[in-house]
Amino acid sequence: MDLYIVTGHTRGLGQALVAQLGAEPDIDLIALGRAKDGPIPGGAQLFVDLADSRAVEAAFDRVEERLRGKRFAKAVLVNNAGVISPVGMVDRVEAIDLERALAVNFTAPVLLMRRFLIATATSAKLRRVINISSGAGRRPIFGWGAYCAAKAGIDMVSRVAALEAQTAHTGVQVVSLAPGVIDTPMQGVVRSATPEEFVDVERFRQMKAAGELRDPVEVAADILRHERSGKLFAEPIADLRTLGA
Ligand SMILES: NC(=O)c1ccc[n+]([C@@H]2O[C@H](COP(=O)([O-])OP(=O)(O)OC[C@H]3O[C@@H](n4cnc5c(N)ncnc54)[C@H](OP(=O)(O)O)[C@@H]3O)[C@@H](O)[C@H]2O)c1
């Protein structure tokens, strides 16, 4: 039995990941997101608002309860949930929105990675963390201050975790993965910005019109295929667009 924990499964890439995992045999699936507690194919969903770090810890307490006594050949955490808002120059957006974006995009994945590594230390033979990052963490983008900063932070904490795993010989594999531009509700938010908020908005509208956004179902399948082959973890910083077939 393999364990998969996926955040942000109510739409977009997370929804596609959970749908594919839930259709497979021998997987214990836990989805963490803003959807009410209950069973889902392959496992369960647990409600959590990832902007609230105490709620993140409490949600993981509940994950641990579910894992008690179980052993896994492999345990995988996919920190997928994210928010692009607020879009706008850093001095023209609300402080509370910046704080929320940093909490969802950075603090929550770091806290979840910590709890996941503690919880699975003796219960899983192979442990993997996939942090969904973005090209926006690797270059500055006008109007995306909190998002760029959080994704850059995710890249760095992933590098640190990979280094720690290598040095301490824990066998843990960590990757911070830029998935490319995907046709999800997040891209709708991107396209709805004004040019004052986001100077590149027209380019993103054109990409959508030209059919250049990838289907989240295909992206999820690529991620899971590269996870299973182990190719995803060749380097702690990866880009799905350059990983090859
Ligand atoms: N789409 C792209 O082009 C693109 C490009 C590069 C990287 N990414 C990254 O890929 C990942 C998935 O993005 P996506 O495009 O699928 O985004 P999306 O369509 O906006 O979906 C985001 C998911 O995160 C969840 N989420 C957001 N805030 C939350 C909160 N406070 N608590 C719990 N869950 C929360 C959402 O749940 P709710 O329904 O509750 O809001 C939703 O399930 C993100 O990390 C994103 O940064 C996307």
pLDDT, one tens digit per residue, over 194-224 is 999 999 999 999 999 999 999 999 999 999 9
Q: What is the residue-averaged pLDDT of the chain?
A: 98
Residue 244 has a pLDDT of 79
How confident is the model over 46-90, as pLDDT tens digits? Answer: 999 999 999 999 999 999 999 999 999 999 999 999 999 999 999
Residue nearest to atom 25 of ligand 1 (CA): 8
Alpha-carbon gap, residue 221 to 223, rounded angstroms: 5
Alpha-carbon gap, residue 28 to 63, rounded angstroms: 11
| Binding site membership of 110 for ligand 1 (Cβ less than 6 Å) | no
Domains annotated on the chain, with CATH? 2-181+215-240 (3.40.50.720)
| Binding site membership of 184 for ligand 1 (Cβ less than 6 Å) | yes
How confident is the model over 84-135, as pLDDT tens digits? Answer: 999 999 999 999 999 999 999 999 999 999 999 999 999 999 999 999 999 9
| Binding site membership of 8 for ligand 1 (Cβ less than 6 Å) | yes
What does the block give as tokens for 13? 């890439």
Is 0.95 surpassed by the pTM of this model?
yes
